[in-house]
Chain A
Amino acid sequence: MKDWVNVIEAVARALAYDRYEPGTQQSAGQSMLAIVTGVSAPRLRHRFERQHQPGLGHEPTAEPLVHPYKVPLYLLARHIVDIAAAAVAGCTPQELAGLGEEERERHRITGIVAVAALSTQRPQGRLSGELNGEARDLMRPFRSGKWPTALDRLAARTAQLHRVMLAADHDRRHAWRGVDQADRILAEALAAALVGGAADETGVPPERWLFPFHIFCKLALSAARDGLVAIEDWLGIEFKPPPRTPEREVDLMVLVAGQAGNLHQGCRCKAGIDPRVVAFVPRGPCRQADHDLRNWLPGQPKPGGGGGRYAETLWGWLRRWLGGSSTSRAPDGRPRLRPNDVAGSVLARCWLPTDRGYGGPLLLYDRILPEYCQNCGQPARPVTTVQPDGHAAVGRASCCANPRRVYRCDFVERAGKRVLRPKLGLVVASEQGGAGYRSTQALGPLWLCAATGRYFLSPEYCPDCQTEAATDRHEPVGHGWVLLPLADAWQDLLDTRHPAAPATPVQPAEETPVSREELMFLEQAIGEMGPDYACVLRTSADAWDVAERWSRDEMDQFCAIAGERGLRLLFRCKQEAEALPPGERGESQGEDGDE
């Protein structure tokens, strides 16, 4: 185990003495150490802003400015890695260049890990060049806890990634202005190691390791931007906010920062998915090898013997993770993507399913209801015909002499039994709803017959198995999406309401008066709030009399016990109590009062 306290202190002293920029008077407040341990200093921010001002020879709108992501690049361009490595080796940067390659790389890795560790600290006050009293405060966290072990692990993982990235680095197409390629590769290895959780034992979350975390986020932002444009090109649709606007940039920034802070736990792109987006029970954390930064080995064969290899660069890893697996283009200029590439990308799952208040089209990965003919069993085949007015009309090709199309789930026969294969796919939905797909949500919950795969609307009436009662074979599936324009399959779905059911969606049962059982439920829940709350509820007016006096904290307490059901009952009690003539409500209160 290395003596990390001494290593970090040596690096801190070297960075504190290093000049802010060549040719100017040294200023401890603007030293590399001050920049590493803080966010960008006012003068540094001003410098970055000037770089992006029009008329200074730089493209002003090529990349909106994000200060924190610029700082590590600024430091790398000023050879912070060599300065830190020289401090570790106890020599000058010139002497460091004379060392053997292996020894030099070892010092460089140790140096950059020390810089990363320093970037977790926020010293109070200005740092003087001598670092007298400040060094003690700065080093304090590294003396205790599990820092030395964690830094050893981080250095080991960085070295491993660095080694395989160098071996796989055949054709690196990206460069940072003023940053040596060797420094960039090493910085990427450190960023991947850190965000992948190599330093978790310190208990400091990845987003607090400013130097490596911002390198990771800078690359991720580029990959997210690129991935989104690839999806838009593939679909031929532009999502809002439009590309190359600050609104989109800032939205992606926040997305990648949040996702990067999460990656040390493994990819959770499939955890907590809104059931409205994936019409199944969420499938838990992602198990795809390509999505797990913790096990990433750049350019190496993936486990399983399928012949696949891990992405060679960090940008490549991010590109696959955030935006689909391939960026190559077909001869017509359309990216070679498959629906699975888009649906599996974190970006598509997290960024596209909501309109972010811009009213744009949405891209959802959701349940699609396929149309099948009941007579011949063939799936419906959409055909497009051009109308005399030049508009394209979508219809269904005829499959047999007497087609009767219904919405039915795909299935396969396995050991003589039908195994349902619900269809999930990409759905583009617009607010106007004139094209693409339409949701069945307005019709209420959908039901699926496990025996035949038929979708229908009444839980008690399956048109295929003609069951008149709820059975285990029928399961609710929430909602699905149907192809527009609507055709006879839609009418068939509407006809599957129970014969006795009204034409409009069924009114919820809450319209019935609050029952005695429901009042007892409320009574019990209120009683659990504490001895002072115990009460006897005879009528809904009694319940409302109790609840209408509660404060927000009491309501919060009640919600924690009774949940949404309890709240629903209270609102119904309120409705009923207010519907009573004033005299009757008063009588009810009087009776309670007498008791």
Chain B
Amino acid sequence: MNENYARALLQQAAIFLDSDPGSPGFLERFAATVGGSPPEAARALDTALTARNLAGTARFAVGAGDVRTETTSSGAHLSVGLLSEGDDHLAASVRVVDSDRTALAGVALRVTDHDGHRAVVTDEAGRASLRATGASVFIQIGDFGEVGGRGEPAGAVVLPLRAAVPATTYVLAAADQTAEKSATEPSRWQTEAGGVQFTCLSRMGGSDLTLLLREDPPEVAAAAAGTHGVLFRTWGRAGSARRWIVPLAPGPLGFTGALYGTDEDWLHESSVQVYGADEIAGELGDPEDDEAGAVLARSVRHADALHAWRAMSNRITHERQRATIRAALDRHGTST
């Protein structure tokens, strides 16, 4: 078999595996999409399926100038490097090795940058090179069983929270249907998910996020500060996912909340949910759990509207959550 043809077939097979929902009729769809003679198709599918299983799942963000090695759910290692080429262009390189550190060929990775998302497939050395735009990229390997907020397949689940280039050298941002330059504040970046508008202002010491509830549900419309809050998940340049809670307070434009001095680049689109105070407590779980406690402490630390947090802590009926929020508020009060 021609080596180049085999490589192309493997690439198609990996991309098919990544985008196919996996429902019954899989082999028929595979044969229709990828083609090839029986031995060629069998080899490509076998290699791609094996690589997919060995690679496992992982997702994280990488900023320009960073190099990182992440361990996936299956113990494989994913090394990613990203370097700026000037303007808002990035050169990226990825290498995937399994838990025995053997290169994995035919692994499809979903890469999201300011231009959208695309799939890249590793070659026989386990490597893939690509170019991207923006200040960071979001990388996903494997299927997390999620569908993008706009009905797009997995991998379209994150939205950029920041402009592609820093405000000092601001140019028209890459076209994205859900994110656009604000008409009134050209240095701000706006995006919308789950009925909440996120406006990001990048500063030297981090970026400030302002949330505005665009479509007030009837139960929110007449609510007071701290009655409702937005729970969402982001990825920053530090890589790992972080959850945030922003209590909402009524304002001139509607219900708003803000986070100050964050380092977040990507918003998990389907994670944006508006909850009542007690629902948030329920979603978070036991604050004694490190992760839940950290979410509360972090969200309070980066909040500006502490009155909304105080109001929310008064409304929460769960004792432990209330105590944790109050402790975080006390710490925040003393440190500021």
Q: Which residues of A contact B39 (CB under 8 A)?
A: 508, 510, 568, 571
B310: A residues at CB distance < 8 A: none
Pair A567/B45 contact, Cβ less than 8 Å: yes
- Do B46 and A247 have beta carbons less than 8 Å apart? no
- Which residues, 33 to 71 on B, are CB-close (under 8 Å) to A? 37-39, 41-43, 45-46, 49-50, 53, 63, 65-69, 71
B182 located at the interface, meaning its Cβ lies under 8 Å from any Cβ of chain A in the complex: no
Which residues of B lie under 8 Å from residue A38 when comparing CB positions? Answer: 238
Cβ 8 A contact of B81, one of A250, A350, A553: A250
Interface of A is mostly: helix
Interface status of B151 (Cβ within 8 A of chain A)? no
Complex CA distance for A568 and B41, rounded to whole angstroms: 8
Given the known inter-chain contacts A66-B66, A126-B301, please indicate yes or no for A350 contacting B125, CB distance below 8 A.
yes
In whole Å, how far is B333's beta carbon from the nearest beta carbon of chain A?
13
Q: Which residues of B contact A569 (CB under 8 A)?
A: 38
Known: A43-B205, A354-B127. A552 touches B93 (CB 8 A): no
Among residues 18 to 34 in chain B, which have CB atoms less than 8 Å away from a CB atom of chain A?
20, 22-28, 31
Measured between beta carbons, the chain A residues less than 8 angstroms from B154 are: none
A253 sits at the interface (CB 8 A): yes
B27 near A555 (CB under 8 angstroms)? yes
Residues of B within 8 A of A255 (CB): 95
B124:A66 contact, CB within 8 angstroms = no
Q: How far is the CB of A525 from chain B (nearest CB, A)?
A: 13
Tell me the chain A residues, 220-272 only, with Cβ under 8 Å from chain B. Answer: 241, 245-247, 249-251, 253-255, 257-258, 261-262, 265, 268, 271-272
Chain B 95-132, CB-CB to A under 8 Å as 1, else 0, gives 10100111100000000000000000001110111000
Given known contacts A254-B67, A356-B127, A563-B46, A66 and B83 CB-to-CB distance under 8 angstroms: yes
Q: Does the CB pair B31–A246 fall under 8 Å?
A: no
> Are A272 and B69 touching (Cβ within 8 A)?
no
**A271, B100: Cα distance in complex, Å:** 10
The verdict on B253 contacting chain A, using a C-beta distance below 8 Å, is no
Which of A207, A265, A550, A568 lies in contact with B38, CB distance below 8 A? A568
Known: A42-B205, A64-B83, A552-B17. A254 touches B123 (CB 8 A): no
> Is the beta-carbon distance between B46 and A564 smaller than 8 angstroms?
yes
Stretch at the interface among B84-92, B188-196, B214-222, B279-287: B84-92
- A42 in contact with B23 (CB, 8 Å): no
In the assembled complex, how far is the CB of residue B165 from the closest CB belonging to chain A, in whole angstroms? 13
The residues of B that contact A554 with a CB separation of less than 8 Å are: 26
The CA of A377 and the CA of B24, in the complex, are separated in Å by: 63
Known: A254-B94, A272-B100. A548 touches B25 (CB 8 A): yes
Q: A260 to nearest B CB, angstroms?
A: 9
Q: Which residue of B lies closest to A566 (CB)?
A: B42
Contact B102 A42 (CB under 8 A): no
State which residues 391-443 of A face B: CB under 8 Å.
Answer: 441-442
Q: Are B42 and A547 in contact (CB under 8 A)?
A: no
Checking A125, A254, A575 against B95 with a beta-carbon cut-off of 8 angstroms, the contacting residue is: A254
Is residue B294 within 8 Å, beta carbon to beta carbon, of the partner chain?
A: yes
Whether a CB of chain B sits under 8 angstroms from the CB of A276 is yes
Task: Give the most central of A38, A254, A350: most B CB within 10 Å.
Answer: A254
Say whether A2 faces chain B, with CB atoms less than 8 Å apart.
no
B23: which A residues are within 8 A, CB to CB? 551-552
* Known pairs A246-B84, A564-B43, A567-B45; A276 contacts B124 (CB<8 A): yes
Pick from B24, B27, B42, B127: contact of A568, CB below 8 A: B42
Q: Once bound together, how far apart are the Cα atoms of A508 and B41, in whole Å? A: 14
* Given A124-B294, A356-B123: A556 and B53 interface contact (C-beta under 8 Å): yes
Q: With A and B bound together, what is the CA distance between A26 and B53 in angstroms?
A: 49
Chain A residues with CB under 8 A of B238: 38-39
B-side interface mostly: mixed
The reply to whether B124 and A258 form a contact with Cβ atoms under 8 Å apart is: no
Does any Cβ of B come within 8 Å of A179's Cβ? no
Query: Taking the nearest CB of chain B, how far is it from the CB of A21, in angstroms?
Result: 15
Nearest chain-A residue to B21 (Cβ)? A552
Cβ contacts A18-42/B at 8 Å (1 or 0 each): 0000000000000000000011001
Cα-based distance from A567 to B124 in the complex (angstroms): 21
**What residues of A have a CB within 8 angstroms of the CB of B82 in the complex?**
250
A272 pairs with B125, CB closer than 8 A? no
- CB nearest to A205 among chain B residues: B71
Quick one: which of B17, B103, B206, B297 contacts A272, CB cutoff 8 A? B103
Please, how many angstroms separate the alpha-carbon atoms of A46 and B65 in the complex? 11
Task: Given A254-B94, A356-B127, decide whether A572 and B38 contact each other with a Cβ distance below 8 A.
Answer: yes
B263 within 8 A of A: yes
Interface 1/0s, chain B 198-241, versus A by CB < 8 A?
Answer: 00000011100000000000000000000000000000011100
A353: CB under 8 A from chain B? Answer: yes
Are B65 and A555 neighbours in the complex by a CB distance under 8 Å? no
Chain B 142-163 interface mask (CB, 8 Å, partner A; 1/0)? 0000000000000000000000
> Is there contact, CB below 8 Å, between A274 and B124?
yes
Question: In the bound complex, do residue B93 and residue A250 qualify as a contact, i.e. CB atoms below 8 Å apart?
Answer: yes
B268 at interface, CB cutoff 8 A: no
Q: Is B27's CB under 8 angstroms from A254's CB? A: no
Q: Which residues of B contact A551 (CB under 8 A)?
A: 22-26
Complex Cα distance A272/B125, Å?
A: 10
Q: Confirm or deny: B272 has a beta carbon within 8 angstroms of a beta carbon on chain A.
A: no
How many whole Å from B171's CB to the nearest CB in chain A?
Answer: 18
Given A128-B335, A246-B84, does the pair A66, B297 have CB atoms closer than 8 Å? no
For residue A559, CB closer than 8 A to chain B, the reply is: yes
Using Cβ atoms and an 8 Å threshold, which residues of chain B touch A219? none
Residue ID in chain B nearest A508 by CB atoms = B39
Which of B24, B92, B125, B301 is the most central at the interface, judged by chain A CB atoms within 10 Å of its CB? B125
Q: Counting CB contacts under 8 A, is B329 at the interface?
A: no
- A564 proximity list for chain B (CB < 8 A): 42-43, 46
Find chain A residues with CB under 8 A from B177 CB: none
Among residues of A, the one whose C-beta sits closest to the C-beta of B300 is: A125
Query: In the complex, what residues of B have CB within 8 A of residue A156's CB?
Result: none
Q: Are A555 and B46 in contact (CB under 8 A)?
A: no
A354 and B129 form a contact (CB under 8 A): no
Tell whether, in the assembled complex, residue A125 and residue B301 are in contact, meaning their CB atoms are under 8 Å apart. Answer: yes
How far in angstroms is the closest Cβ of chain B from A359? 11
How many angstroms between the C-alpha atoms of A257 and B97 in the bound complex? Answer: 12
Kindly state the separation between the CA atoms of A454 and B252 in the bound complex, as whole angstroms. Answer: 88
Please tell me if A357 contacts chain B, counting CB pairs below 8 Å. yes
Contact in complex: A574, B65 (CB < 8 Å): no
Query: A246 is contacted by which of B37, B53, B80, B85 (Cβ under 8 Å)?
Result: B85
Closest Cβ neighbor of A573 among chain B residues = B38
Nearest-CB distance from A536 to chain B (Å)? 20
- Whether A357 and B123, one on each chain, are in contact in the complex, defined by CB atoms closer than 8 angstroms, is yes
Q: Considering only CB atoms, which chain A residue lies closest to B130 in the complex?
A: A357
State in angstroms the CA–CA spacing of A358 and B129 once bound together: 9
A42 to B262, CA, bound (A): 9
**Which residues on B sit within 8 Å (CB–CB) of A258?**
69, 77, 79, 95, 97, 101
* B326 touches A (CB below 8 Å): no
Residues in B with CB closer than 8 Å to A124 are 290, 294, 297-298
Report Cα–Cα, A565/B45, bound state, in Å: 11
Counting from the closest, the 5 A-B pairs by CB-CB distance are A552-B22, A571-B38, A567-B42, A568-B42, A272-B102
9 further A-B contacts with Cβ under 8 Å, apart from A68-B66, A508-B39, are A38-B238, A66-B66, A67-B65, A251-B93, A258-B77, A550-B24, A551-B25, A552-B22, A556-B49
Task: Pick 12 A–B contacts, CB within 8 A, sort by A.
Answer: A45-B65, A68-B67, A124-B298, A125-B298, A250-B83, A258-B69, A261-B77, A354-B125, A550-B26, A551-B24, A555-B26, A556-B49
